[in-house]
Structure 1
């Protein structure tokens, strides 16, 4: 049960989304904190009007934009139980001296695993092979088409924490790894320009943040450079790909397949034509929702949020905008 403390010494933390049980227990045991919820617009507005909000904790859905920040003059921390911060106006928060907290590298292992899982399922056509048996179509095994990853080239776009782990697993599987990133990294893989990666890779995996520079990075021009046998994997952000051009590329066999845990619109509309394609494999943005990683992301974020509000030492690696004003 949430506790509501009226002491002037208590801080008010507003949850825009639920968090992992262990993290929620940490909040409930924090007797110097008042835990509020704003899961729906009506409850959000009620909390904003009735309480002085010191911190906001969200995951990936709750939006913390300038309009909301403007209504909260006492806000000291905006925390995301995750890595990406595209649902938070980091620039405006920084200008206001508000700390933006996230959980960097907390999901690298599980997203790398999910990426390779999607790649293998797509390359081996596993999802159709399983459906064949479930639908009592054993005899259709003669029509099965799949291939192995060994000896093929994987192009990694973005050689950060996740990109490095994906590349390492792919190399163990016998794949030749090339990469393009914002800068060269100290890794045993060939750095190539983006055009070369698009033209030479058998599979392409995206591991970059969604920014104004990366939005629709994979557009009609990019698809025109890919091999017709290429597979595209996206476990980063849906907006990196122009989804209309993706649909055209898949429908016209400009690329062979697409697998993703993210889409430009989430959830997709029921009749989204992308979901009807046999060469598209989509999971519901659940790559980080393993019990281990979800708990880690949430407890890490809550720990640092509480530390900042208490003027205690927080993990500076988890404070994204380190130039924000100190909490006083």
Structure 2
């Protein structure tokens, strides 16, 4: 049963007091919403704005929250929800959820592990190739009726170059596989050595030797501003930097300086430290910068997969059934084997 968060005060409630209450902070894919609508043992509440959220908190004991990337679930919200058992994110990264506070309160934090690895890997390589070959300018040249400018075109191929991957998790591994197929030499640095056919190198060595560097780390207190002035000073002047992880991993002020001072040759990303960026952000005015609007996972296939996987596991937990393996992010801290 669904109770819309918009104009709730003028609409009759259709909730069942015997059901568990799931609160949506954002919309989900149609297939996932259909799964929720079919869950007759659940009340589905929506709160897409602050007024709706306050109304739902005042009227219902919330058992689970489902969000995507914008809906924030901090300790202050958890404090108002004594019945809360599950916080679920339709995605992989969890920086919009206070996992530490949830864990202390015994609340399960659910995500969709590995659900976006293929599409983010593809997006990473697409950005790399567009930047390396200067394709975005090349396409604009023709669209702007500047065919004669082809004589001034400058681009290069990736074959034979070294790709340094920072973070060899699920996405990093897939990026490495595609890059290898393109004829690139792959090295990596990660928090631990992985069982992969690529060379593990120290962080500074990766910065010194890589022609392109791709980031695949979560945003934590340890990785925030990991790519800073010191890191830029160690990169090749011809290096390209790709970020499809989290914007905060890069010190954006130092990135702008590095690009303007030609300490690196180019930057491509699907994420920024501030999203959306300011309209007059000087970074976006540079010809050697390519940014997409944090849409790497928003293909129809992956978006649906992330949402349905998350909904399915949330329902399973609320029904005391077994969810998929590893979907509970804080399972070890909660003593779940």
| Secondary structure of residue in 2 paired with 1:316 | coil
Residue 153 in 1 paired to residue 150 in 2? no
Which residues in structure 2 correspond to 1:148-227 (within 5 Å)?
Answer: 148-227=157-236
Offset of residue 316 of structure 1: 3.1
CA contact (8 A) 2:2 2:15 kept: no
| Secondary structure of residue in 2 paired with 1:318 | coil
Offset of residue 315 of structure 1: 1.3
For residues 43 and 248 of structure 1, what CA distance do their matches in structure 2 show?
43
Offset of residue 120 of structure 1: 0.1
Q: Which runs of 5+ in 2 are unaligned?
A: 4-12
Match of 2:293 among 279, 284, 292: 284
Match of 2:134 among 125, 132, 142: 125
Offset of residue 312 of structure 1: 1.0
For residues 81 and 18 of structure 1, what CA distance do their matches in structure 2 show?
10
> What is aligned with 1:236?
245
> What is aligned with 1:21?
30
> What is aligned with 1:65?
74
Q: What are the superposed Cα offsets for residues 22-58 of structure 1, whole Å, 9 maximum, x if unpaired?
A: 0000001111111111111111111111111110000
Offset of residue 325 of structure 1: 5.2
TM superposition score normalised by structure 2: 0.95
> What is aligned with 2:7?
none
CA contact (8 A) 1:231 1:256 kept: yes
Match of 2:266 among 257, 261, 276: 257
CA contact (8 A) 1:180 1:192 kept: yes
Offset of residue 247 of structure 1: 0.6
Offset of residue 5 of structure 1: 4.6
For the structure 1 residues 6 and 325, does the alpha-carbon distance in structure 2 shift closer, same or farther, using more than 3 Å as the test?
Answer: farther
Q: Which runs of 5+ in 1 are unaligned?
A: none
Q: What are the superposed Cα offsets for residues 64-120 of structure 1, whole Å, 9 maximum, x if unpaired?
A: 001111111110000000001011000110110100000000000000000000000
Q: CA RMSD in A?
A: 1.3
For residues 312 and 218 of structure 1, what CA distance do their matches in structure 2 show?
43
Offset of residue 317 of structure 1: 1.0
CA contact (8 A) 2:217 2:245 kept: yes
> What is aligned with 1:246?
255
| Secondary structure of residue in 2 paired with 1:43 | helix
> What is aligned with 2:2?
2
Residue 309 in 1 paired to residue 328 in 2? no
| Secondary structure of residue in 1 paired with 2:123 | helix
TM superposition score normalised by structure 1: 0.98
Offset of residue 326 of structure 1: 8.5
**Matched residues, number:** 327
Residue 52 in 1 paired to residue 61 in 2? yes
For the structure 1 residues 7 and 326, does the alpha-carbon distance in structure 2 shift closer, same or farther, using more than 3 Å as the test?
Answer: farther
Match of 1:269 among 278, 297, 308: 278
For residues 254 and 190 of structure 1, what CA distance do their matches in structure 2 show?
25
Residue 110 in 1 paired to residue 119 in 2? yes
